[in-house]
Amino acid sequence: MAKTREKRPTSFYFLAAFFALFVLFLYGPMLTIFILSFQGENGGLTFPMNGFSVHWFGNLFEQQAVGDFGGSFLRSLKLGLIVMVVTVLVSFMAGLAFRKRFKGDSVIFYLAIASLIVPSILISLGIGLLFNIVSWQPQWFTSALGAHLTWTFPFGLLIMFAVFNRFDPSYEEAARDLGASSWQTIWHIVLPMVAPSLIGVAMFSFTLSYDEFARTLMTAGALNTLPLEIYGMTTNVTTPVLYALGTVTTGFSFVVIAIALGSVLILRHRKGQKA
């Protein structure tokens, strides 16, 4: 006897419609930019499409009257990599340090994550004013680096706290019983076990820095990062080359995510082979 299908409640259709709208608002603008970036040579910034070509992608690598695509991209890439390395190292060491209580640990913790609740533009303005008071020139590799770390480090710290709260210290005790030093225990026991989480922290911190606008606005100095360059171009560029830039940078972000996920899968595969 065939089973009768249960009638779905009204709430199911409401939530399904809400999710569909969410996906539309999330990916609709991105899809629009992707499509318009393939406009023909005489195409404009809006629909309808005037042909189909990759002309504007080639135009990215030519000399532009307005905007410095290559320079701003390299600056964002370098800044993101520096922020990623610093965030991973400091978050890992802080996670190890906070495994044991020490005097003032709560104060240090709340000071470290306080920047999450402060508006990003105020962080940027404050750092910019501080550099101005001490007569230092804001630069993307000094003031902007510090501003980005106020954004990425709290997330990295919270992630490592969650990881080490579930970490079984018996593995370290067994290694020390077998004669391993503290550094050998960290290198051969702790690091391999938390490596997937560190990759997650690295990916998270890099993408946050690479896309950051508000905390870079007052701290980048005379040389723009890519988000600032794109924002400045929105009032000057009147061709789909801006959409082509958006497509390329979004594709680059997806590549970074794919590399991070691939690294995690490789680590899990190797761990499974050793087991």
DSSP letters for 198-263: HHHHHHHHHHHHHH--HHHHTTSTTS--HHHHHHHHTTT--STHHHHHHHHHHHHHHHHHHHHHHH
DSSP assignment letter at 139: -
Q: Measure the CA–CA gap between 240 and 40, rounded to whole angstroms.
A: 9
Indicate whether 11 pLDDT > 80.
Answer: yes
275 Cβ neighbours under 8 A, 6+ residues apart: none
Contact between 130 and 142 under an 8 Å Cβ cutoff? The reply is no
Per-residue confidence (pLDDT) for residue 4, from 0 to 100:
62
Please classify residue 240 by burial: count the beta carbons closer than 10 Å to its beta carbon, then call 0-12 exposed, 13-18 middle and 19+ buried. buried
Pure H helices in the chain = 10-36, 55-59, 69-97, 105-113, 120-133, 143-165, 170-177, 182-185, 191-211, 214-217, 226-233, 241-274
- Encode pLDDT of 18-62 as tens digits: 999 999 998 898 899 899 989 888 888 888 888 888 888 887 776
Per-residue confidence (pLDDT) for residue 100, from 0 to 100:
86
- Encode pLDDT of 130-181 as tens digits: 999 999 999 999 999 999 999 999 999 999 999 998 888 888 889 888 888 8
Quick check: helix, strand or coil at residue 52? strand
Q: Tokens 């906070």: give the residue.
A: 98
Largest CA distance in the chain: 84
- Encode pLDDT of 93-125 as tens digits: 999 999 888 888 889 889 888 888 889 999 999
Indicate whether 2 pLDDT > 60.
Answer: no
Per-residue confidence (pLDDT) for residue 148, from 0 to 100:
96
Q: What is the CATH T-level fold of the domain 68-274, as seen in this structure?
A: MetI-like fold (1.10.3720)
pLDDT band, residue 275 (cuts 50/70/90): low
Of the candidates 111, 103, 113, the one whose C-alpha atom is nearest the C-alpha of residue 161 is 113
The token duo for 260 is 């991070």
- Encode pLDDT of 173-205 as tens digits: 898 888 888 899 999 889 989 998 999 999 999
Per-residue confidence (pLDDT) for residue 92, from 0 to 100:
95
Q: Measure the CA–CA gap between 57 and 60, rounded to whole angstroms.
A: 5
Domain ranges of the chain: 68-274
